[in-house]
Amino acid sequence: MRLLVGTQNTGKIKEYQRLLADAPVEVVGLGDIGLGSLDVEETGTTFTENAILKARAYADASGLATLADDSGLCVDALDGRPGLYSARYGGAGMKSPQQRKKLLGELQDIPDEKRGAEFVCVIAVALPDVEKTTHTREGICRGRIAQAESNGTGGFGYDPIFIPDGQAVTFADIPEDDKNRLSHRGKAAEAIIPVLKALGSSNPDM
Protein backbone atom coordinates (compact mmCIF):
# COMPACT_ATOMS: atom_id res chain seq x y z
CA MET A 1 0.00 0.00 0.00
CA ARG A 2 1.35 3.41 -0.95
CA LEU A 3 1.19 5.72 2.05
CA LEU A 4 1.56 9.45 1.64
CA VAL A 5 3.12 11.24 4.60
CA GLY A 6 1.46 14.65 4.60
CA THR A 7 4.19 17.02 5.75
CA GLN A 8 6.56 19.60 4.29
CA ASN A 9 9.22 18.46 6.79
CA THR A 10 11.68 16.20 4.95
CA GLY A 11 13.25 15.12 8.24
CA LYS A 12 9.90 13.84 9.42
CA ILE A 13 9.36 11.89 6.19
CA LYS A 14 12.70 10.11 6.65
CA GLU A 15 11.82 9.39 10.25
CA TYR A 16 8.53 7.79 9.23
CA GLN A 17 10.29 5.66 6.64
CA ARG A 18 12.27 4.16 9.52
CA LEU A 19 9.41 4.05 12.03
CA LEU A 20 7.10 2.25 9.61
CA ALA A 21 9.69 -0.22 8.33
CA ASP A 22 7.61 -3.11 9.73
CA ALA A 23 4.40 -1.93 8.10
CA PRO A 24 3.32 -3.15 4.64
CA VAL A 25 3.55 0.33 3.10
CA GLU A 26 5.62 2.29 0.62
CA VAL A 27 6.14 5.70 2.19
CA VAL A 28 6.04 8.62 -0.24
CA GLY A 29 6.28 12.36 0.34
CA LEU A 30 4.32 15.25 -1.11
CA GLY A 31 7.13 16.09 -3.49
CA ASP A 32 7.14 12.56 -4.86
CA ILE A 33 3.59 12.95 -6.19
CA GLY A 34 3.67 16.59 -7.31
CA LEU A 35 2.01 18.10 -4.24
CA GLY A 36 5.09 19.72 -2.77
CA SER A 37 3.50 23.17 -2.81
CA LEU A 38 0.26 22.11 -1.11
CA ASP A 39 0.11 23.33 2.46
CA VAL A 40 -2.79 22.78 4.85
CA GLU A 41 -3.58 25.42 7.45
CA GLU A 42 -3.72 24.04 10.99
CA THR A 43 -6.95 25.53 12.29
CA GLY A 44 -7.80 22.85 14.86
CA THR A 45 -7.81 23.45 18.60
CA THR A 46 -6.22 20.10 19.54
CA PHE A 47 -3.42 17.89 18.22
CA THR A 48 -6.04 15.35 17.13
CA GLU A 49 -8.10 17.89 15.19
CA ASN A 50 -5.04 19.17 13.32
CA ALA A 51 -3.78 15.68 12.50
CA ILE A 52 -7.16 14.65 11.09
CA LEU A 53 -7.55 17.92 9.19
CA LYS A 54 -4.19 17.46 7.45
CA ALA A 55 -4.56 13.74 6.76
CA ARG A 56 -8.02 14.25 5.30
CA ALA A 57 -7.00 17.17 3.09
CA TYR A 58 -3.93 15.40 1.67
CA ALA A 59 -5.85 12.14 1.13
CA ASP A 60 -8.57 13.97 -0.78
CA ALA A 61 -5.99 15.84 -2.90
CA SER A 62 -3.80 12.83 -3.66
CA GLY A 63 -6.19 9.90 -3.82
CA LEU A 64 -3.78 7.98 -1.58
CA ALA A 65 -3.98 6.65 1.94
CA THR A 66 -2.38 9.45 3.92
CA LEU A 67 -0.67 9.72 7.27
CA ALA A 68 -0.33 13.09 8.95
CA ASP A 69 0.52 14.03 12.47
CA ASP A 70 0.40 16.97 14.78
CA SER A 71 2.88 17.16 17.58
CA GLY A 72 4.28 19.60 20.05
CA LEU A 73 6.31 20.23 23.16
CA CYS A 74 4.29 21.00 26.28
CA VAL A 75 6.33 22.55 29.10
CA ASP A 76 4.93 22.34 32.62
CA ALA A 77 6.42 25.62 33.85
CA LEU A 78 4.95 27.44 30.85
CA ASP A 79 1.42 26.12 31.43
CA GLY A 80 1.77 23.72 28.51
CA ARG A 81 3.30 26.14 26.02
CA PRO A 82 4.34 26.10 23.24
CA GLY A 83 2.09 23.05 22.83
CA LEU A 84 -0.17 23.21 19.81
CA TYR A 85 1.86 26.12 18.45
CA SER A 86 5.31 24.55 18.81
CA ALA A 87 6.10 24.86 15.10
CA ARG A 88 5.05 28.52 15.14
CA TYR A 89 6.55 29.39 18.52
CA GLY A 90 8.13 32.83 18.46
CA GLY A 91 6.26 34.01 15.39
CA ALA A 92 6.28 33.41 11.66
CA GLY A 93 9.69 32.78 10.16
CA MET A 94 11.48 31.86 13.38
CA LYS A 95 13.72 28.84 12.80
CA SER A 96 14.33 25.94 15.18
CA PRO A 97 17.62 27.25 16.66
CA GLN A 98 15.94 30.56 17.49
CA GLN A 99 12.92 28.80 18.97
CA ARG A 100 15.13 26.67 21.21
CA LYS A 101 17.02 29.76 22.36
CA LYS A 102 13.76 31.56 23.14
CA LEU A 103 12.41 28.60 25.12
CA LEU A 104 15.60 28.26 27.16
CA GLY A 105 15.43 31.98 27.85
CA GLU A 106 11.91 31.65 29.22
CA LEU A 107 13.14 28.92 31.58
CA GLN A 108 16.36 30.66 32.54
CA ASP A 109 15.62 30.77 36.27
CA ILE A 110 13.72 27.47 36.52
CA PRO A 111 15.57 24.64 38.36
CA ASP A 112 15.84 21.11 36.97
CA GLU A 113 13.10 19.70 39.20
CA LYS A 114 10.59 22.16 37.74
CA ARG A 115 11.58 21.82 34.08
CA GLY A 116 9.22 18.91 33.36
CA ALA A 117 7.81 18.64 29.85
CA GLU A 118 6.32 16.20 27.42
CA PHE A 119 6.31 15.66 23.70
CA VAL A 120 2.88 14.74 22.34
CA CYS A 121 2.16 13.27 18.91
CA VAL A 122 -1.18 12.33 17.38
CA ILE A 123 -1.08 10.39 14.10
CA ALA A 124 -4.06 10.30 11.78
CA VAL A 125 -4.41 7.98 8.79
CA ALA A 126 -7.09 8.93 6.28
CA LEU A 127 -8.37 6.91 3.33
CA PRO A 128 -9.53 8.49 0.05
CA ASP A 129 -12.93 6.82 0.28
CA VAL A 130 -16.48 8.10 0.28
CA GLU A 131 -16.86 7.23 3.97
CA LYS A 132 -13.97 9.58 4.82
CA THR A 133 -12.41 6.86 6.99
CA THR A 134 -9.86 8.16 9.49
CA HIS A 135 -7.92 6.42 12.28
CA THR A 136 -5.91 8.13 15.05
CA ARG A 137 -3.32 7.06 17.61
CA GLU A 138 -1.43 9.08 20.26
CA GLY A 139 2.07 8.87 21.71
CA ILE A 140 3.49 10.78 24.69
CA CYS A 141 7.07 11.04 25.91
CA ARG A 142 7.72 12.62 29.31
CA GLY A 143 11.01 14.28 30.16
CA ARG A 144 12.49 17.64 31.03
CA ILE A 145 14.05 20.65 29.37
CA ALA A 146 17.85 20.79 29.55
CA GLN A 147 19.62 23.78 31.05
CA ALA A 148 21.49 24.36 27.79
CA GLU A 149 21.29 23.18 24.20
CA SER A 150 23.15 20.00 23.32
CA ASN A 151 25.79 19.82 20.62
CA GLY A 152 24.42 16.47 19.50
CA THR A 153 23.76 16.10 15.81
CA GLY A 154 20.71 13.82 15.89
CA GLY A 155 17.05 14.69 15.63
CA PHE A 156 15.52 18.04 14.72
CA GLY A 157 13.27 20.75 16.17
CA TYR A 158 13.34 20.80 19.97
CA ASP A 159 15.31 17.52 20.26
CA PRO A 160 18.58 19.22 21.37
CA ILE A 161 16.93 20.60 24.53
CA PHE A 162 14.66 17.69 25.55
CA ILE A 163 15.90 14.96 27.91
CA PRO A 164 13.48 12.00 28.01
CA ASP A 165 12.76 10.33 31.35
CA GLY A 166 15.32 7.68 32.23
CA GLN A 167 18.03 9.30 30.11
CA ALA A 168 20.89 11.65 30.97
CA VAL A 169 21.19 13.26 27.52
CA THR A 170 18.89 14.90 24.98
CA PHE A 171 17.21 13.30 21.99
CA ALA A 172 19.93 14.87 19.83
CA ASP A 173 22.53 12.69 21.61
CA ILE A 174 20.59 9.41 21.68
CA PRO A 175 21.16 6.75 18.99
CA GLU A 176 18.44 6.75 16.38
CA ASP A 177 17.02 3.33 17.27
CA ASP A 178 16.76 4.28 20.95
CA LYS A 179 15.11 7.58 20.10
CA ASN A 180 12.53 5.85 17.91
CA ARG A 181 11.70 3.51 20.79
CA LEU A 182 11.33 6.33 23.33
CA SER A 183 9.89 9.20 21.34
CA HIS A 184 6.30 10.40 21.16
CA ARG A 185 6.30 9.88 17.39
CA GLY A 186 7.82 6.42 17.76
CA LYS A 187 5.12 5.39 20.23
CA ALA A 188 2.33 6.75 18.04
CA ALA A 189 3.83 5.05 14.97
CA GLU A 190 4.07 1.74 16.81
CA ALA A 191 0.39 2.04 17.71
CA ILE A 192 -0.65 2.86 14.12
CA ILE A 193 1.24 -0.06 12.48
CA PRO A 194 -1.52 -2.64 13.29
CA VAL A 195 -4.02 -0.23 11.72
CA LEU A 196 -1.91 0.02 8.55
CA LYS A 197 -1.58 -3.76 8.37
CA ALA A 198 -5.34 -4.15 8.64
CA LEU A 199 -5.96 -1.47 6.01
CA GLY A 200 -3.45 -3.07 3.65
CA SER A 201 -5.19 -6.43 4.00
CA SER A 202 -8.66 -5.04 3.42
CA ASN A 203 -7.60 -2.67 0.59
CA PRO A 204 -5.12 -4.72 -1.51
CA ASP A 205 -5.46 -2.45 -4.54
CA MET A 206 -4.36 0.73 -2.75
For position 93, what pLDDT does the model report?
85
Q: Which residues, at least 6 apart from 48, have a Cβ–Cβ distance to it below 8 Å?
A: 70, 122, 124, 136, 138
Tens digits of residue pLDDT in 22-77: 999 999 999 999 998 888 988 999 999 999 999 999 999 999 999 999 999 999 99
- Mean pLDDT, residues 148-154 taken together: 92
DSSP state of 128: S
At residue 106, φ and ψ (nearest 5 deg) are: -65, -25
User: If you classify domain 2-202 with CATH, what class do you get?
Assistant: alpha beta
Catalytic member of 60, 69, 70, 159: 70
> Is 70 a catalytic site residue?
yes
- Mean pLDDT, residues 178-189 taken together: 94
Sheet with 65-75, side-by-side order of all strands: 26-29, 2-5, 65-75, 116-126, 134-145, 162-164
- Mean pLDDT, residues 174-200 taken together: 93
Domain boundaries, the chain: 2-202
Is-above-0.85 flag for pTM? Answer: yes
